[in-house]
Amino acid sequence: MSDESSRPNPLLSLPGAVPGDAPDGAVAAHYGAITAEQRRLVDGGTFVDLSHRDVVTISGPDRLTWLHSLTTQFLENLAPGIPTEVLLLSPQGRIEHGFSGIDDGETFWAHTEQGAGASLVEFLDRMKFFMQVEVSLVTEAWAVIGLPGLAWRIVPRETLPDLPAELGDPVGLWAWEALRIEAGVARVGLDTDEKTIPNEAGLLGVAVHLNKGCYRGQETVARVHTLGRPPRRLVRLLLDGSVDHLPPHGTDVMLDGVRVGFVGTAARHHELGPIALAMVKRSVDVGATLLADGVAASQEVLVDPDAGLHFRPVL
């Protein structure tokens, strides 16, 4: 796990900063104006502190061909400056690691959930064999920030105190999370679990390239994509706004007294109200009202129950 105590966060000392809940306690949830902060993030002229995320570098002349062979993404000819989403799967096709990355022509820069960087580096180091690559965990020196449009940038950690002068006053992570959930973007490790395959989380065509050679777990991804009907599906929940709390991560999603899934992440959106991402069984009727921690929730489909090559949704 990353050692948060060794790297104090200067952005948490700004006026109004309120630390987030686990696993985001090392950054500000908000700076005292929750709704206004979301609107500022939509309009621009601000940034989000994501400096608790782990940063990993992969350098060396073989880095892109090597990553291409290991991961779900087409990275062999990745041009510098193009951000991408990447997964590493188990032999059974389940998501083991997820990271965002960008190449600068010499180094591939990746960021992942807090605490996930060390295990990612350990896995990649085991797979190096005779390839000319070097993998490093560099979170102590580099930090992630979020930008409008759910964009991101990796910056030297020492420059964090100077960012408000350059980018405008920051907004809290709650603003970022609300817009991410609105966009239906799954947070690997929170909106997914140890059984999740990419087909269930809406990651085909996003973090999974469907026209590349073999990689670990490809057989499962391809089979489910060909036959359709993934076992579960990611859904956005529109929660009853009259309730004063959000369902915590891991809360059971219930239908008629039966557990049909779990809540991943939840937030209060400045227009939609309380929303969440949940993973539910494919068989759940898309029109059914669900319960999460006693809160009624309607569904917005993110992954169609019949998703696959055989099926084309009616537009």
- Any idea where the domains of the chain sit in the sequence? 7-52+143-183, 231-305
Contact status, residue 133 vs residue 126, Cβ threshold 8 Å: no
Q: What integer best gives the mean pLDDT of the chain?
A: 94
Whole-number Å distance between alpha carbons of 178 and 156: 26
- Can you give the pLDDT at residue 273? 96
Mean pLDDT of 158-172: 98
Range from 4-13, 138-147, 224-233, 256-265 carrying the lowest mean pLDDT: 4-13
% of the chain residues with pLDDT over 70: 96
Q: What is the pLDDT of residue 37?
A: 98
Give the per-residue pLDDT at 61.
Answer: 97
pLDDT over 70 at 310, yes or no: no
**Maximum pairwise Cα distance, the chain:** 59
The structural architecture, per CATH, of the domain 231-305 is: Beta Barrel (2.40)
The pLDDT value recorded for residue 311 is 52
Mean of the pLDDT values across residues 77-88?
Answer: 97
Each residue's pLDDT tens digit, 286-307: 999 999 999 999 999 999 998 8
Alpha-carbon dihedral of residues 207, 211, 214, 216, nearest 10 degrees? 20
Q: What is the pLDDT of residues 84-96, one digit of tens each?
A: 999 999 999 999 9
